[in-house]
Structure 1
């Protein structure tokens, strides 16, 4: 039987891997590209203005769009699950 901390930790890791693509889609980073008029479009515009008209490869906007278009890689999924699990463990200690 799992303790509350273990349960919250596992749920946090699983929920974070599931939530990341959903949240990115909701803010406008979609498989079809950045959605017009979205929060993502505003980020992209601000990044382009700051970089003289281009969005640099490897920038936060470029990485988020890549994840929004293709989903998380295995390595990225593991990293997100680890962060979610850690957050869940901390929450479990508080509860």
Structure 2
């Protein structure tokens, strides 16, 4: 693997793990609950309608709210970092392409 791909993977992994909490908060998944009028509240509303009025434990909305309230657990950080690394590596490979 060439250096640009490795650098891209490293930057992608770190950037996604660092940015994930801010992205959750910006979407409305906060420590105080789901913010009114946010993307999170729209997702919660849609999930509640689809689920007969409640939010299922373990659903995407419930998982994102738990992460927004308590932080992203280590396993979640590993997953987010792996996705970021893959995206960074792809960007590094793309930067090496010549036309």
Fold match by TM threshold 0.5 = yes
The reply to whether residue 6 of structure 1 matches residue 15 of structure 2 is: no
Structure 1 unmatched ranges of 5 or more: none
| Aligned residue number for residue 18 of structure 2 | 18
Structure 2 unmatched ranges of 5 or more: none
TM-score norm. by structure 2 comes to 0.91
TM-score norm. by structure 1 comes to 0.94
Please give the alpha-carbon distance, in whole angstroms, between the structure 2 residues aligned to 1:45 and 1:82.
Answer: 30
Please give the alpha-carbon distance, in whole angstroms, between the structure 2 residues aligned to 1:72 and 1:60.
Answer: 14
| Aligned residue number for residue 53 of structure 2 | 53
CA RMSD of aligned residues (A): 1.1
Shift >6 Å, 4+ stretches: none
